[in-house]
Chains A and B, each alone.
Chain A
Amino acid sequence: MDILIYGIINSVSLALMALGFTLVYGVSRLPNFAHGALYVLTGYMTWLFMNRLGLNYPLSILLSLVASACIGAAMYYFILVRVRGMPISEIIASYAIGLAILEGLRWGGLKGATFVLPPFIQGSTELFGVSVDFHRLVVVAAGIVLVAALWLFVNGTKIGLALKGMAQDERAALTLGIDSDRMAVIAMALGSMLAGLAALVLLPLGTIVVEAGYNVLIMAVAVCIVGGLGSWTGAVLASFLIGFAQILTVAYLGTHFQVVVALMAIIFTLIWRPSGLFGWQKELEERV
């Protein structure tokens, strides 16, 4: 039973980590390797707002989300837009930005276990005989709400539909009067905000450490690759696949293997089906 419950929690966490990455890749074909850095940065900013500026928790959350969206947008607008269309340069540039942020933070003093965000709700409860923190339930709820909200946003609003159009065919979208660069900026801002949201929901479960940035990046990439780059349903399904696989390996092999599972998942998926288990890109590629 606890495998089931913790499996679901873990899977939802993974989905949260990966949503922002998928969104950005899906819309603008930009693998944002600074994703993990934005995740850690948002958590750290919230901590700063609370402990250095003395703001209250909800306000600092709001501020840091806005800030991370701005940083994401600025990153695209000033740097990444210049390497658009050169996939390798995109990867290297975004990875380098992420590294600069993470290692800069580490140098700036983000070390040790002093950086903790409080959980939203204290205490724990029993669920089918398994003790679960309230906060973990918040994580699951947040995950479900976020996916639903994102779905409504994409299918219900004008900007959302424009993003979807871009994701399907950038050139066709251009001819319909959708400004692809503006949309990419919006997607990047949204994606960074999602990374931030994931951080705020997940970080109270542990401490804010630089390593989390690398782990989140690996997890996000793993989920997106297994699910098929750019495919949303794929990402959600894949996060459940990897989430449960991880919980099972932790239960039977030990915690060391948790990341190994994600890495193996990436390598095997790429070798076996580069388009991902639920992706459609390969099929398109073959048609050319």
Chain B
Amino acid sequence: MSPDGAQDTAQQPLLTVENVSKKFGGILALSQVSLDVFPGEIIGIIGPNGSGKTTFVNAITGFVKPDAGKVTFKGKDITSQEPHKIADLGLTRTFQVMRPYYSLPAYKNLIVPLFSPRARRTGGWRGGGKMGSRDTVAVDILEEIGFERDSYVPYKVASSLPTGYLKRLELARCLALRPDLIICDEVFSGLSMSEMASMVPLIEKLQMEGMTLIMVEHRLRELFRLANRVMVLNFGCKIAEGTAQEVMEQSDVKEAYFGSEEVYEYV
């Protein structure tokens, strides 16, 4: 656990989620969930399938309008804002179901974020949004994130890339925007052991560079290595929050989540 991201109550939270609720039909997908995220932290969100993790992410990023509650980012109220406006403020996300721009080469996928208003205004990752040749910067970003330039991986059409690369491409698409907070929706799932092994240091490096991350994960071992704090959701309710050890100790977490044997294998 890296020490620098520890909670500092004097510091202003980057993102504040207050009592967010969301109903789908008769089902309560989220009930009064609150969360504070401080700059430089990595927050893990775990929970069984269908516990509302993705809905929580959608509610923060504007893809779902919450029924009640408030979301504040950098002091601005972003509740029920359009997703592109939230992204423009510097809060972006990856998607659980990867859908790159299939018809384009991998590096061209990054042109959209590099060409976005935010990147053109602030420069984006390594100033790529402002420079004349966005293509070169796009390839640089991809190389940095593990696309081997020598074997032309960045130039390959996205639809021909394997899952591991697509997951990283999702992350690269977020990075190109140079956001302040990235929400990663299951970037580890579907990766092989070696791909995961290269992903962990990548995320550590991002944190060192001052990026704040929220990670929704099923892979607990990797997540607990990275996360400063963990929040546990079950049936749309927050049942625990704290460091990995603290969360593990709680009896209702064990009951709701760790009760199943298969999960023990991961931990």
Contacts and interface: CB of A to CB of B under 8 A. Distances in A.
Direct contact of A and B (CB under 8 A): yes
Interface of A: 280, 283, 286-288
B64 interface: yes
A283 B25 contact: yes
B155 to A, nearest CB: 29
A287 B29 CA distance: 10
Interface of B: 24-25, 29, 55, 64, 97
A286 B29 CA distance: 12
Nearest to A286: B64
Contacts of A287: 24, 29, 55
A280 B27 CA distance: 14
Contacts of A286: 24, 64
Nearest to B23: A283
Nearest to A280: B25
A286 B55 CA distance: 10
A283 to B, nearest CB: 6
A286 B22 CA distance: 12
9 contacts: A280-B25, A283-B24, A283-B25, A286-B24, A286-B64, A287-B24, A287-B29, A287-B55, A288-B97
B233 to A, nearest CB: 16
Contacts of B24: 283, 286-287
A288 B55 CA distance: 9
A287 B30 CA distance: 12
Nearest to B63: A286
A75 to B, nearest CB: 31
Of all A-B residue pairs in the complex, the 8 with the closest CB atoms, nearest first, are: A287-B24, A286-B64, A283-B24, A283-B25, A287-B55, A286-B24, A280-B25, A287-B29
Contacts of B97: 288
B193 to A, nearest CB: 29
A280 B29 CA distance: 17
Contacts of A288: 97
A286 B97 CA distance: 14
A216 B260 CA distance: 57
